[in-house]
Amino acid sequence: MTEAIEVAGHLRLRQICLVAPRLEPLAGDIAAIMGLTICYRDGNVAKYGLENALLPVDTVLLEVVSPLRPGTAAGRFLDKTGGRGGYMAIFGCDDPDRRAAHAKEVGVRVANIIDHPPYHGVQLHPRDCRAAFIEFNHTEGSDDILGPYPPAGPDWQRSIRNDVTQALIGVEMQSPEPHALAGHWGRILDIPVSQNQGGEPELRLANGSFRFVAGASEIMSGLTFRVSEIAAVREAAKARGYAVSGDSFLLGGVTFGLAA
């Protein structure tokens, strides 16, 4: 029997990726409603048949990708889900390869390796992950959360704004079997499943949490943001033509929830 691979070390939410049929007006709407700034458009994603835009929410990056041609993985995701659900959850860690080896132990394959020194990322197979892609990455020599992060461009830190949106504090995952999905993601991420105040299964990271709720299909269904004035963000969403329900609205395939 082989010894189980241990994956001690830091793990932080680094990036959330949404996918849309077209980059605009979605990227511009997110910036305008949430008071964020696009810091980078990465030309390297063109080889995957995509275009993108990244917006820093404090130290977490919110990315929007859109297919430029038929046959892309992002396009297939849109076809499968009807545009509902977030595309990818990306985590910064000490050793992406070690975490990928651990994921393999629990039956999750590697789908893609991105090796552009000083950046190294390992993307896991979405079918094995369920609900959304998972990626682990590390930038050599950048243990500072405000340090270099090549996917977000050379000076992403200068685009951080906190006058409207302060942080991305939670991710909602939906499944017909939320406890089972929470357990599966917990095994992949090597995080124990806990319960939140509402009794829902939850995975807690240093800079946010993933909560798992009952729903018809397995998707990344929502994002929760801490904002300075909930009413002002609600009005900004209405002004852009989005239907607001309570303190949330549907944008980019996921529910944007607002918290004070």
CATH 3.10.180.10 placement within the chain: 11-140, 165-259
Identify the DSSP state of 108.
-
The three-point CA angle 23-25-31 to 5° equals 95
User: Max Cα separation, the chain?
Assistant: 60
Written as tens digits, the pLDDT of the chain (260 aa) is: 345 666 667 899 999 999 999 999 999 999 999 999 999 999 888 888 999 999 999 999 999 999 999 989 899 999 989 889 999 999 999 999 999 999 999 999 999 999 999 999 999 999 999 999 999 999 997 767 899 999 999 999 999 999 999 999 999 999 999 999 999 999 999 999 999 999 999 999 999 999 999 999 999 999 999 999 999 999 999 999 999 999 999 999 999 999 99
Residue 208 φ/ψ region, left for φ over 0, alpha for ψ in the -120 to 50 degree band, beta for the rest? left
Given CATH 3.10.180.10, say whether it is the number of domain 11-140.
yes
Query: Exposed (0-12), middle (13-18) or buried (19+): which is 119, by Cβ within 10 Å?
Result: middle
The fold of the 165-259 domain, in CATH, is: 2,3-Dihydroxybiphenyl 1,2-Dioxygenase; domain 1 (3.10.180)
Q: What is the 3-state secondary structure (H, E, C) of 20-70?
A: CCCCCCHHHHHHHHHCCCCCECCHHHHHHCEEEEEEEECCEEEEEEEECCC
